[in-house]
Amino acid sequence: MPRTPETASRDRSAVRSLLRLWPYVRPVRTRLFTAAFVAVLASCTGLVIPLVLKWMVDGPVADRDTTGVWLGALCLLLLGFAEALLFGLRRWLVARPLSHVEAEMRTDLYARLQRLPVAFHDRWASGQLLSRATADLGLLRMFLAFPLTFLLVNSVTILLGVVIMLLQDWRLGLVILGPAVPVVVMCVYFENRYAVVARRAQDQAGDLTTVVEESVLGIRIIKGFGRHRSQARAFRELSSTLRGTELRKARLLATIWAVIVTLPEVAIGAALVLGSVRVADGELSAGTLVAFLSTALALRWPVDSIGFLLAMSQEAATATERYFEVMDEPPEEPDGDRGGRAPVVDGGLRFDGVTFRYPDASPDSPPTLDGVDLHIRPGESMALVGATGSGKTTLTALVPRLHEVTAGRITLDGEDITALSREELRSRVAVAFEEPTLFSASVGENVLMGAADGAGAVELERALDVAQADFAHALPQGVETQVGEQGLSLSGGQRQRLALARAVVGRPRFLVLDDPLSALDVHTEAAVEAALRQVLADTTALIVAHRPSTVLLADRVALLSDGRVTAVGTHHELLRSNAEYAHLMSGEPSVSRFESPLRTTYGSTHGTTFETRSGEQEADRR
């Protein structure tokens, strides 16, 4: 997860963080350097104006030369026009390349998110990632467009302006330079304090984005349970916290701005008084004083903007840091990194001593999966049964390498899955999760996502038939109907059938189904099972099941208990020989360890208990 603001500010300097942007800036460096040069030239043009004023006051004005005054005015007009034109050219030069930099960074961030392991996404809030891809990149584009250039331009302007003032009159120049030391000290103090607050504000903005996103996606839950007031209260608390942080940023910025503005103004006032006395005494010409003060006033904006530019630079540095926190996360292990092992003779899907522990689990806690050995023969379907929390979903996630095994290995037709490229592995293995996820696209696009490129209407219709998803043709635009975000415009059963269609559309060699029929009614479930049996006849399948009807789709059953496979056999064999399995199939919340597995209580109504002679008979009846 993101580090705390205090830790982050101690671990980096703003310059070091911002230098990491160079690989993105390098392709457009020519236009950016040209824009910076144009901006410096425009600023220097502005510094010529005081020299023209000096010539006018000491020359045509003092000599009452009207022609000279008009000539000086024309020069001033041309200089002002040239300065405005140059600044406009600078803006034009940076607009296109900086939009390109932002787009490239956003594309790279999205690509990295796709390559990061599922464990990363389990740890990071989606709102934090969203804020990095939007608000933070917007800050970086603004930094490259304005502060980066004007930190250079203003520095050059101040340096040249000071040199011009010292050449005009070194005594007055020293008066103007008097506030330099306290201003520098305040800037250093401000930078350290502002870095911490800026980081905190950006992290809090990410938290707020998470709340908004979750509230939108979970609006049915919020409305269904009448929790809109509590959600609004939680939002207000986070919003108030962010507001307080932003106000602290504003107070820091106001403090530094007050110092930066006040001290130079006092120095200019002192120079005005001292210069006027010297002009009155004849030690200094009026034109020189006018030029000196005009130069000092021309430096007001470059000096006043120091606090603002430093603030934007600090925010850009924290945004860079937040961006590279994601980019620095290690992606999924390279393809084929653990290959080279001797192939297994047996085909199908095999788990050999598979152990798995979640990366953020305590080292002292038992592993989620512990030494799983299981072999699903080619063309065989195996149901995976177990109590809640036994590790069934985790085991299925290991097959397409959504997680990496901690120990042991998994093979497909004798090949270690880590020796296969992920693209090849996931072309062989299709998955359907218990919680179906659909995208904001058409029904057809969602289903064909599971097929190879080039798949069309024929494959789509076959998959819809298998999943009994003919309802898609009755939608307003048929299979071209947009299903909406998360597919929430459809019922749970409809989403689950489309997810199943997506899993079978590509005719995969290996099929992993995580309780794919849990949201279906009895009649639809029976129709789907009938069509699914034809698909299972041509593939090797692992099916997580909780109901006997789903178990009966499989040739054999594996019982998973506390992360271990404790029994393998047919449904009827396990009903007769395994008490835990018979209990899971019975649907009872508990069963005595001394009770016969062949006499199972199914429930009671008004005190009357209904029993069957065996769990096998009840399962067959279902």
Encode pLDDT of 505-514 as tens digits.
Answer: 888 889 888 8
The rounded percent of the chain whose pLDDT value lies above 70 is 89
**Adjacent-strand bridge partners of 350:** 375, 411
Q: Could you please report the per-residue DSSP string of 268-311?
A: HHHHHHHHHHHHHTTSS-HHHHHHHHHHHHHTHHHHHHHHHHHH
Give domain status of residue 354, yes or no. Answer: yes
Q: Are 514 and 537 in a shared domain?
A: yes
Q: Which residues contact 540 (CB under 8 A, 6 or more apart)?
A: 348, 349, 376, 377, 378, 379, 380, 381, 509, 510, 511
Residue 165 to residue 372: CA distance in whole angstroms = 81
Same domain for 589 and 474: no
**pLDDT at res. 618:** 37
User: Within this chain, do residues 292 and 425 fall inside the same structural domain, yes or no?
Assistant: no
Q: Are 308 and 380 in a shared domain?
A: no
What confidence score (pLDDT) does residue 355 get?
93
Which pLDDT score, from 0 to 100, does residue 105 have?
92
Phi/psi at 134 (nearest 5 deg)?
-120, -75
Question: Which of 327, 362, 378 is at the close of a domain?
Answer: 327
Could you tell me whether strands 556-561 and 608-611 are parallel, antiparallel, or unpaired per DSSP bridges?
unpaired
- pLDDT by residue (tens digit) across 579-599? 998 888 886 554 433 333 333
Residue 9 belongs to some domain of the structure: no
In the predicted structure, residue 223 carries a pLDDT above the cut 90: no
Q: What does the DSSP assignment read for 184-235?
A: HHHHHHHHHHHHHHHHHHHHHHHHHHHHHHHHHHTHHHHHHTT-HHHHHHHH
Same domain, 577 and 559: no
* Separation between Cα atoms, residue 180 and residue 125, nearest integer Å: 45
The pLDDT value recorded for residue 411 is: 92
Q: For 309-351, how does the pLDDT look when each residue is reduced to its tens digit (9 = 90+)?
A: 888 888 888 899 999 999 998 887 766 544 444 444 468 899 9
Claim to verify: residue 274 and residue 306 sit in the same structural domain: yes
Indicate whether 107 and 230 sit together in one domain. yes
In whole angstroms, give the CA distance from residue 616 to residue 194.
70
- Whether the predicted pLDDT of 280 surpasses 90: no
pLDDT band at 488 (very low <50, low <70, confident <90, very high): low
Half-sphere exposure of 163 toward its Cβ, with a 13 Å CA cutoff?
9
**DSSP H helical segments within 27-65, as ranges?**
29-56, 62-63
Residue that terminates a domain, selected from 292, 327, 362: 327
pTM (two decimals): 0.71
What average pLDDT score do residues 165-176 get? 85
Q: Summarize the confidence of residues 531-539 as an average pLDDT.
A: 82
Work out the average pLDDT over 363-388: 89
**Tens-digit pLDDT profile for residues 112-154:** 988 888 888 888 888 888 888 888 898 898 888 888 888 888 8
Q: Which domain holds residue 612?
A: 571-622
Beta-carbon contacts of residue 375 (< 8 Å; ≥ 6 apart): 346, 348, 349, 350, 351
* Shared domain check, 511 and 586: no
Q: Note whether 189 and 257 are same-domain residues.
A: yes
Within this chain, do residues 560 and 580 fall inside the same structural domain, yes or no?
no
Residue 611 forms part of a structural domain: yes
Q: Binning pLDDT at 50, 70 and 90, where does residue 453 land?
A: confident
Query: Mean pLDDT across the stretch 141-170?
Result: 85
457 and 312, same structural domain?
Answer: no
pLDDT band at residue 558 under the 50/70/90 scheme: very high
